């Protein structure tokens, strides 16, 4: 087996190497030699890479997973904040990984969908659709850092598809979340989805970091 055959992926698993060699003992020797020569870098137990692209690496460690939150905002050009923590939405909880000066943070979500693949070759990564990024920013606002970063996503994102957003919100099934997203879409993008979501009689706070004092009667939110 030629070494270059398995060195093209953003992440390389020892078990895959062992299957290709059909000899686990030789596979360990091979991996050890490649790491020593600097041709392979260890990410975490049993996972290696030849890449220096932290976003490609981070979103390919576990499947399914995708880049979201502040890191996705940065990749989309919605923030000038350069994240040293790359938050990855995953279906299961995993321990954080430190690699190349970055912290790869795995954020468990029940809604692992609404993402797509970008890049090419060994620099491919999975990233949230802009509509899902908007939703995720309210699902886990702690991974956005502050409310200003959430507003950046809504104010700078272009090409938001109203139908897709309504579909995603319906899948999430949270009236509170739908109203927060709806208010932000109307305020920043001029998109009104109020007819496609249910607005109950409860009142909620829009900003997860600070209590608002002004009531928006349409969305029943304190803003």
* pLDDT of 1: 43
181 and 71 housed in the same domain: yes
Residue 5 confidence (pLDDT) above 60: no
Domain count, the chain: 2
23 and 86 housed in the same domain: no
Name the residue range of residue 30's domain. Answer: 3-49
76 and 156 housed in the same domain: yes
The helix/strand/coil state of 70 is: helix
* pLDDT of 22: 79
22 and 67 housed in the same domain: no
Four-residue CA torsion sign, 53, 76, 159, 65: positive
Lowest mean pLDDT among 65-74, 99-108, 196-205: 196-205
45 and 59 housed in the same domain: no
For the stretch 169-193, pLDDT in tens is: 999 999 999 999 999 999 999 999 9
pLDDT class of 121 with cuts at 50, 70, 90: confident
77 and 149 housed in the same domain: yes
Mean pLDDT computed over every residue of the chain: 94
* Edge-to-edge strand list for the sheet holding 47-49: 12-13, 47-49, 41-44
For the stretch 202-221, pLDDT in tens is: 999 999 999 999 999 999 99
205 and 115 housed in the same domain: yes
């Amino acid at each position: 087996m030629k070494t270059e055959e398995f060195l093209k992926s953003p992440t390389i698993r020892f078990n895959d190497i062992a299957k290709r060699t059909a000899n686990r003992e030789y596979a360990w020797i091979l991996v050890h030699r490649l790491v020593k020569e600097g041709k392979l870098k260890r990410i975490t137990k049993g996972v290696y890479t030849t890449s220096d692209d932290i976003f490609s690496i981070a979103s390919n460690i576990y499947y399914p997973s995708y880049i979201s939150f502040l890191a996705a905002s940065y990749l989309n050009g919605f923030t000038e904040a350069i994240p040293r923590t790359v938050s990855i939405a995953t279906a299961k909880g995993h321990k954080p990984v430190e690699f190349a000066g970055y912290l790869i943070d795995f954020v468990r979500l029940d809604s692992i969908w609404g993402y797509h693949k970008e890049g090419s070759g060994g620099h491919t990564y999975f990233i949230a659709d802009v509509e899902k990024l908007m939703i995720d920013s309210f699902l886990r606002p702690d991974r956005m850092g502050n409310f200003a970063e959430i507003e950046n996503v809504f104010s700078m994102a272009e090409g938001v598809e109203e139908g897709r957003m309504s579909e995603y919100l319906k899948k999430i099934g949270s009236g509170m979340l739908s109203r927060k997203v709806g208010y932000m879409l109307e305020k920043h993008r001029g998109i009104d989805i109020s007819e496609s979501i249910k607005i109950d009689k409860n009142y909620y706070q829009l900003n997860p970091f600070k209590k608002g004092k002004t009531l928006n009667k349409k969305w029943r939110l304190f803003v």
